[in-house]
């Protein structure tokens, strides 16, 4: 019996060690190869162009930034030409920019990060439930820790269909993704857990309108876009606009419809590569009259936005509206946000605030290309696996853990059988 217990203990220890080793190795990129062997921006850019040529991409705009300077821009289109001023609908990348606007109201003293949001609401209120709505704060909405379990995901409204009101959407979004009930409510105790919530940002949209007394798009234009010089950015699109809108494509290459949204703050920013380059540099110190935040937000507020406020699997992943992709050597993070929706829109930004290095990718026609390239940029530049690349490597990691665990169990079992056989033989010989 003691021998069996010993084998079980040894096997358990080996399994724990193996699982920890594979997890650590995957997280640190020990078994992942960079998409390019070169160390220069032109090497990475050449690889990106090769990847685009190998698969369908509808529209593509990318900037590679080194120490705050745009080193290269890459454009591709399956239809009308795309350039740095072409406007893309950027899906959930909108949340990062929306959070910037929310923090403007915080700085002005019109919003308290830690006050119950119900304090500011008159047009709609959170439904009562098991947990206290008083624990739902702006800080927790920004960091997806407010306990909302809506699971939104918005599919948008087809051309010609009436768009839901903001209040009706919060009550039950009729454009919720398939399998999601679309009800914005508190389903777990606020502050206890990270749960991604598109509905939380729609609630922030309402909050901005209530506090500012303006429609959300008008507030963002006045408070953020105009002072920063983001002339191609808006949360609404007029078909008569003088700017060019990137065409929408499905994954199979067919042209897709242009969907409109109630959930502007969560998913409906329209912006260009040139404007995102401006927004990128807002997080960096520029010249003498270009402080971090560009006098729209204070440097201390910008720093607060990338302080860790939420964890997943023990890893810091979210600040205030800002995704934390990978820790840096100095205790900071590579930051930004991704966006993904159907029809295939995928956008991504990675920014190292300390070095000024980063990448911006706006894309239609492929569901994950922007995220994949941005994650590969982080690995190429730093040798670290960001949270999106880790998610892509997870299945391979789990497969390696399972196969290795089976081998360890079989080996231990085999060693046990051999030893037992040897002991029995020795026992029989000794009796003779």
Read off the pLDDT of residues 247-269 as tens digits, 9 standing for 90 and up.
Answer: 999 999 999 999 999 999 999 99
Q: What is the pLDDT of residues 280-306, one digit of tens each?
A: 999 999 877 899 999 999 999 999 999
Plot region of 2 (φ>0 → left; ψ -120 to 50 → alpha; else → beta): alpha
Least Cα distance to 337 among 353, 324, 354, 352 occurs for 324
Which domain, by its residues, includes 17?
A: 2-30+394-431
Q: Is the pLDDT of residue 192 over 90?
A: yes
168 and 19 housed in the same domain: no
Mean pLDDT of all residues in 386-409: 85
Q: What's 392's DSSP letter?
A: H
Picking from 266, 294, 283, the residue whose alpha carbon sits closest to that of residue 333 is 283
pLDDT of residue 420: 59
Phi–psi pair at 235, nearest 5 degrees: -95, 0
Q: What pLDDT sits at residue 421? A: 63
* Statement to judge: residues 258 and 297 lie in one domain: yes
Q: Is residue 365 part of a domain?
A: yes
Residue 427 has pLDDT above 60, yes or no: no
Residue 45 lies in a domain: no
- 9-67: pLDDT as tens digits: 878 888 888 888 888 787 778 888 899 999 999 999 999 999 999 999 999 999 999 99
Quote the CA–CA distance of 154 and 198 in Å, as a whole number.
8
What mean pLDDT do residues 332-340 have? 97
Q: Does 140 map to a domain? A: yes
Domain boundary among the residues 360, 384, 408 is at 384
How many CB atoms sit inside 10 A of residue 141's CB?
26
Q: What is the pTM of this model?
A: 0.91
The number of beta carbons lying within 10 Å of the beta carbon of residue 327 is: 16
Asked whether the beta carbons of 348 and 93 are under 8 A apart, the reply is yes
Closest Cα partner for 115 from 105, 130, 127, 128?
A: 105
Shared domain check, 173 and 97: yes
* 172 within a domain of the structure (yes/no): yes
The answer as to whether 39 is a domain residue is no
Is residue 185, in this structure, part of any structural domain at all? Answer: yes
Q: Which residue has the higher pLDDT, 288 or 369?
A: 369
Look at the chain and report how many structural domains it folds into.
2
E-state strands within 79-179? 87-89
> What percent of the chain has a predicted confidence (pLDDT) above 70?
94
**84 domain-assigned:** yes
pLDDT value of position 321: 97
Within-domain flag for 18:
yes
C-alpha–C-alpha distance, residues 102 and 291, integer Å: 20
């Amino acid at each position: 019996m003691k021998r069996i217990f010993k084998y079980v203990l040894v096997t358990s220890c080996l399994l724990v060690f193996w699982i920890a080793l594979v997890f650590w190795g995957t997280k640190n990129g020990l078994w992942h190869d960079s998409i390019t062997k070169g160390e220069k921006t032109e090497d990475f850019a050449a690889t990106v162009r090769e990847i685009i040529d190998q698969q369908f991409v509808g529209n593509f705009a990318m900037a590679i930034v080194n120490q705050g300077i745009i080193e290269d821009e890459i454009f591709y289109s399956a239809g009308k030409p795309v350039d740095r001023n072409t406007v893309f609908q950027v899906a959930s990348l909108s949340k990062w920019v929306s959070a910037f606007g929310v923090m403007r109201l915080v700085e002005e003293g019109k919003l308290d990060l830690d006050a119950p949001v119900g304090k500011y609401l008159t047009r709609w209120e959170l439904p009562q439930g098991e947990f206290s709505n008083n624990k739902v704060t702006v800080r927790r909405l920004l960091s997806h820790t407010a306990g909302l379990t809506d699971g939104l995901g918005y599919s948008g409204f087809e051309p010609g269909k009436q768009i839901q009101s903001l209040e009706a959407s919060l009550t039950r979004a009729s454009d919720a993704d398939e399998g999601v009930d679309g009800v914005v409510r508190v389903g777990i105790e606020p502050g206890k857990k990270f749960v991604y919530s598109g509905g939380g940002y729609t609630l922030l949209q309402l909050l901005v309108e209530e506090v500012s007394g303006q429609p959300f798009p008008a507030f963002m234009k006045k408070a953020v876009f105009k002072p920063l010089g983001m002339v191609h950015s808006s949360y609404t699109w007029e078909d008569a606009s003088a700017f060019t809108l990137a065409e929408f494509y499905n994954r199979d290459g067919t042209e897709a419809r242009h969907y409109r949204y109630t959930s502007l703050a969560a998913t409906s920013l329209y912006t260009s590569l040139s404007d995102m380059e401006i927004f990128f540099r807002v997080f960096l110190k520029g010249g003498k009259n270009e402080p971090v935040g560009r006098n729209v937000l204070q440097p201390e507020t910008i720093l607060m936005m990338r302080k860790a406020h939420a964890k997943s699997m023990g890893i810091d992943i979210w600040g205030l509206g800002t995704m934390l992709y990978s820790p840096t050597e100095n205790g900071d993070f590579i930051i930004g946000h991704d966006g993904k929706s159907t029809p295939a829109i995928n956008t991504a930004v990675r920014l190292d605030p300390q070095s000024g290095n980063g990448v911006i990718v706006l894309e239609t026609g492929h569901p994950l290309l922007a995220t994949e390239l941005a994650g590969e940029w982080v690995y190429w530049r730093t040798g670290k696996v960001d949270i999106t690349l880790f998610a892509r490597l997870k299945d391979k990691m789990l497969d390696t853990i399972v196969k290795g665990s089976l081998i360890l169990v079989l080996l231990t079992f085999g060693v046990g059988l051999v030893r037992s056989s040897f002991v029995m033989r020795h026992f029989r010989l000794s009796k003779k």
